[in-house]
């Protein structure tokens, strides 16, 4: 090792550039590994904590779809699913849709025909559900207000859709801030935005008024900066589907008494409801992992190119080092060093150079990962505290060390072979 260190010390500029090249390549690969590990670990932890053991969707639904086809008779599924499988503790039908919300300030401006430039209703994601029937399933915390006050779904009224609407709505903090409303305030909701400022009065006349009964935290299950929550039937009345023959939903979230038998329950519910597709937690995580693997494969191709370039660069530098010290190597041979011993000196220099690259690459990867993680957490609102897109765990660090050793060893093969084949007598006689 002293010989390798002396060789690197003699040529600090060239050695530094080599270490930087190796470091950038190693840093890129370690960053990709940390991202993949972080997403997989966090997704698994969130899914385990969600309480959702099975997910029912329309037949032939896949996770590659942006929207879910409607499920009919959504309300009755809350009772029919547990009846088909005694292991089901909760079956919660959800309708996920987009609404447009307007506040009282915009309505007042529309009444006086003095709508400021840039003002208009706000588009938002909306969940229609049965608020009191989500036992065991993680839902967003209500920070302010009492939340939904009525049990069940009063407007549905056992299938008539003739019950009294509650007119209650919950907004997450982001949406409440944009609309400038608090608990007790009013918002108006419709399925489509107005055509323009001149249509605002007509839009408000046809929109449905709701009273804000709760301000919630973000909801990671549907990551969105703006999210509203309604009773299932009241959202159905706005977007369509509030009839006995339709009663549309998007998903049914199932919480099991014993989640260890999820595959068995999947088979039972699949047979009982052939018009639905039943997903287990492993199916959901598998779909997430499939997407992660696609991006990871693309990233690995880029990383491999970087590693090949770094390896070739290191090989070139080691060849130059062997040429520069050819007389020293010949003298070592003359003093009794074997070819293998000479080759080991070159390998030591290659591994040492690559190790310096590790010292450069890991901090680069860590700083890059922190920056990417902070950026994604700002862009993807609704994720819970503690979620991380990166994970610098032991396998990631060990992978980085393995890559460095591989670069050092592979890059040393040709230079070591050259050092072993140097003609001793000619080198010693050379001027």
Handedness of CA 72, 74, 76, 77 (dihedral sign): positive
- 417 or 329, greater pLDDT: 417
- Judged against a pLDDT cut of 70, whether residue 87 lies above it is answered with yes
181-211 pLDDT, tens digit each? 999 999 999 999 998 888 899 999 999 999 9
- Judged against a pLDDT cut of 70, whether residue 293 lies above it is answered with no
- 21 or 260, greater pLDDT: 260
Average pLDDT over residues 200-228: 88
Residues 248 and 240 sit within 8 Å (Cβ to Cβ): yes
- Residue 196 burial (CB count, 10 A): 10
46-79 pLDDT, tens digit each? 667 778 899 999 887 765 555 678 899 999 999 9
Q: What is the pLDDT of residue 50?
A: 78
Pick from 325, 327, 350, 329: nearest CA to 341: 329
pTM (predicted TM-score): 0.69
Residues 15 and 368 sit within 8 Å (Cβ to Cβ): no
Handedness of CA 26, 27, 28, 29 (dihedral sign): positive
Rounded Cα distance between 269 and 323, Å, is 73
* Burial of 9 from C-beta contacts in 10 A (0-12 / 13-18 / 19+): exposed
Most confident of 16-20, 68-72, 308-312: 68-72
Q: What is the pLDDT of residue 376?
A: 77
- Judged against a pLDDT cut of 80, whether residue 161 lies above it is answered with yes
Average pLDDT over residues 296-302: 65
Residues 218 and 381 sit within 8 Å (Cβ to Cβ): yes
- 128 or 282, greater pLDDT: 128
Q: What is the pLDDT of residue 9?
A: 65
Residue with tokens 């159905």: 236
Q: What is the dihedral of CA 63, 67, 73, 79, to 10 degrees?
A: 40
**Three-class DSSP labels, the chain:** CHHHHHHHHHCHHHHHHHHHHHHHHHHHHHHHHHHHHHHHHHHHHHHHHHCCCEEEEECCCCCCCCCCCCECCHHHHHHHHHHHCCCEEEEEEEEEEEEEEEEHHHHHHHHCCCCCCCCCCEEEEEEEECHHHCCCCCCCCEEECCCCCCCCCCCCCCCCCCCCCCCEEEEEHHHHHHHCCCCCCEEEEECCCCCCHHHHHHHHHHCEEEEEEEEECCCCCCCCCCEEEEEHHHHHHHHCCCCCCCCCECEEEEEECCHHHHHHHHHHHHHHCCCEEEEEHHHHHHHHHHHHHHHHHHHHHHHHHHHHHHHHHHHHHHHHHHHHCHHHHHHHHHCCCCHHHHHHHHHHHHHHHHHHHHHHHHHHHHHHHHHHHHHHHHHCCCCCCCCCCCCCCHHHHHHHHHHHHHHHHHHHHHHHHHHHCCCHHHHHHCC
Residue with tokens 């990709």: 32
Range 329-335, long-range pairs (CB < 8 A, 24+ positions): 329/419, 329/422, 329/427, 330/422, 330/423, 330/424, 330/427, 330/428, 331/428, 333/422, 333/424, 334/424, 334/428
- 30 or 184, greater pLDDT: 184
Q: What is the pLDDT of residue 208?
A: 96
- % of residues, the chain, pLDDT over 70: 84
pLDDT band for 290, please (50, 70, 90 cuts): low
Q: What is the pLDDT of residue 6?
A: 62
Q: What is the pLDDT of residue 287?
A: 55
Rounded Cα distance between 315 and 350, Å, is 8
Q: Where are the domains of the chain?
A: 2-46+287-429, 60-274
Most confident of 22-36, 144-158, 389-403: 144-158
Q: What is the pLDDT of residue 295?
A: 58
Q: What is the pLDDT of residue 420?
A: 77
Rounded Cα distance between 362 and 396, Å, is 10
* Mean pLDDT score of the chain: 82
CA angle 326, 332, 334 (to 5 degrees): 105
Most confident of 46-55, 71-80, 214-223, 315-324: 71-80
Most confident of 27-41, 81-95, 117-131: 81-95
Q: Work out whether strand 88-103 and strand 122-129 pair parallel, antiparallel, or are unpaired.
A: antiparallel
pLDDT band for 85, please (50, 70, 90 cuts): very high
- Judged against a pLDDT cut of 70, whether residue 280 lies above it is answered with yes
288 Cβ neighbours under 8 A, 6+ residues apart: 39, 40, 43, 63
Average pLDDT over residues 199-226: 87
345-377 pLDDT, tens digit each? 777 777 777 777 778 888 888 888 888 888 877
Rounded Cα distance between 303 and 245, Å, is 55
- Judged against a pLDDT cut of 80, whether residue 142 lies above it is answered with yes
Q: What is the pLDDT of residue 247?
A: 93
């Amino acid at each position: 090792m002293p010989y390798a260190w002396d060789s690197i010390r003699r040529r600090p500029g060239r050695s530094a550039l080599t270490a930087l090249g190796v470091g950038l390549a190693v840093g890129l690969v370690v960053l990709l590994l940390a991202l993949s590990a972080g997403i997989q670990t966090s997704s698994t932890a969130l899914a385990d904590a969600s309480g959702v053991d099975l997910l029912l969707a329309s037949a032939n639904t896949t996770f590659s779809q942006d929207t879910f086809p409607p499920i009919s008779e959504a309300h009755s599924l809350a009772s029919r699913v547990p009846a088909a499988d005694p292991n089901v503790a909760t079956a919660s039908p959800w309708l996920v849709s987009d609404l447009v919300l307007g506040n009282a300030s915009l309505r007042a401006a529309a009444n006086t025909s003095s709508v400021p430039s840039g003002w208009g209703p706000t588009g938002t994601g909306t969940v229609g559900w049965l608020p009191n029937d989500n036992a065991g399933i993680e839902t967003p915390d209500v920070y302010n207000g009492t939340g939904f006050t009525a049990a069940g779904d009063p407007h549905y009224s056992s299938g008539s859709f003739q019950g009294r609407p509650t007119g209650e709505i919950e907004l997450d903090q982001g949406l409440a801030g944009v609309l400038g409303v608090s608990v007790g305030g009013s918002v108006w909701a419709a399925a489509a935005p107005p055509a323009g400022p001149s249509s605002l009065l007509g839009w408000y006349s046809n929109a449905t008024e709701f009273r804000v009964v709760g301000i919630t935290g973000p909801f990671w299950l549907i990551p969105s900066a703006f999210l509203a929550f309604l009773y299932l039937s009241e959202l159905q009345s706005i977007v369509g589907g509030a009839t006995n023959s339709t009663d549309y939903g998007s998903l049914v979230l199932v919480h099991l008494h014993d989640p260890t038998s999820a595959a068995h329950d999947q088979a039972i519910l699949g047979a009982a409801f052939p018009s639905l597709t039943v997903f287990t937690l492993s199916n959901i995580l598998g779909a997430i992992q499939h997407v992660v693997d696609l991006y990871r494969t693309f990233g690995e191709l880029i990383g491999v190119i970087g590693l090949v370039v770094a390896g070739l660069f290191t090989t070139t530098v080691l060849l130059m080092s062997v040429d520069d010290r050819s007389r020293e190597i010949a003298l070592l041979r003359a003093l009794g060093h074997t070819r293998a011993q000479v080759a080991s000196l070159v390998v030591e220099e290659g591994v040492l150079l690559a190790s310096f690259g590790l010292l450069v690459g890991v901090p680069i990867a860590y700083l890059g990962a922190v920056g990417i993680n902070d950026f994604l957490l700002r862009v993807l609102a609704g994720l819970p505290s503690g979620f991380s897109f990166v994970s610098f765990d032991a396998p990631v660090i060990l992978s980085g060390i393995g890559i460095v050793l591989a670069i050092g060893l592979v890059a040393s093969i040709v230079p070591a072979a050259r050092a072993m084949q140097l003609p001793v007598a000619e080198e010693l006689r050379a001027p």
